[in-house]
Amino acid sequence: MLVDRYGRPFLKLRVVVNDVCNFSCIFCHFEGQPRGIGRSLNADDYGFLVDVLSKVGVSDYKLTGGEPLLRGDIVDIVRKMGRGGVEISMTTNGFRLAELAEDLAAAGLRRVNVSIHSTDPERFSKVAGVPREWFYRVLAGVRAAVKAGMKVKLNAVLLKGVNEDRESLKSLVKLAASVGASLQLIELMPVGLGSKIFGDLQASADEAAELLEGMGARPAHTRKDLHNRPILRLAGVDIEIVKNWNNPYFCAGCTTMRLTSDGKLKPCLYREPVADLYGPIKERDAGKVYEAVSRAVYAREPTFRLKKNMP
């Protein structure tokens, strides 16, 4: 297992498989990478990387984009990455999920996060920058994923005037309960397009949690394996509260690094890449991959720290 200087193990890798998307969400952070990158990795490349990293304890891989389901070989990517028995999950806008859910589940996809920021089709449309009718297509994808046996989590970025009020939160919980999903409420980050709307639309996750507790939500547990995220439970639904901005406790519990779509390793969304794995992956040089990853893990630092831990 690789552990950084702050005692945080490297257990999870967030894998950006492309930088294209058919949605235009008003807060998109583009996974912290520039658009229009030319080079990319293929399914065999990703499978090789998992073979190397799984030997040093990295057992959880989250596929994202862009929109990962726009890749024609996404099912093969899931299959090649999951052949070693590691956990493969995905974050998606859900547009193609209904048609691909069964194949993805058969290939080894175990969990999927689907972005649904409002249960109101008009609000959904304004946030995602797509026709309102697409809401129903995404919802069909959620149901297809549940039917295929995947664990489904609905992602909602908290936004003023969209979903931070009591009735909107209640509707999101009701939707999650009706489809058999959990719910994740995420604070807006001032990164990418989010930096342009942060001052006007940022809503407090703490206030959302208080509203939920007023409806009867109770603490369930804390995900210490993933940024110390608190979990509430209401109406049979697990509700994950994600406070990622200016939160030292979030950073203290971080066990994740990021791979850009062109094969560069980033220690954090807010930081620049610290290692380029593209060449070693293409050359199938496991030793060079391990050396580069080891250096990257050593270079990791919390973006937000408790004052007592600051130099």
Question: 117-170: per-residue pLDDT in tens?
Answer: 999 999 999 999 999 999 999 999 999 999 999 999 999 999 999 999 999 999
The whole-number pLDDT of residue 60 equals 97
Half-sphere exposure of residue 192: CA atoms within 13 angstroms, side-chain side: 16
The whole-number pLDDT of residue 252 equals 85
CA 53, CA 96: separation in Å to the nearest integer? 29
Flag whether pLDDT at 307 surpasses 70: no
* Lowest-confidence region among 9-13, 33-37, 64-68, 130-134: 33-37
The whole-number pLDDT of residue 244 equals 79
Pick the CATH number of 12-304 from 3.90.1150.10, 3.20.20.150, 3.20.20.70, 3.40.50.360: 3.20.20.70
> Average pLDDT over the chain, rounded to whole?
92
For residue 197, count other CB atoms closer than 10 A to its CB.
Answer: 15
The whole-number pLDDT of residue 223 equals 61
User: 280 or 85: which carries more pLDDT confidence?
Assistant: 280
DSSP string, 101-130: HHHHHHHTEEEEEEE---SSHHHHHHHHTS
E strands, the chain, in order: 12-16, 60-64, 87-92, 109-115, 151-157, 182-186, 218-223, 229-234, 237-242, 256-259, 264-266, 275-276
CA 37, CA 77: separation in Å to the nearest integer? 19
The whole-number pLDDT of residue 99 equals 98
Each residue of 174-233: pLDDT tens digit?
999 999 999 999 999 998 889 899 999 999 999 999 999 999 999 887 665 555 678 999
The whole-number pLDDT of residue 224 equals 57
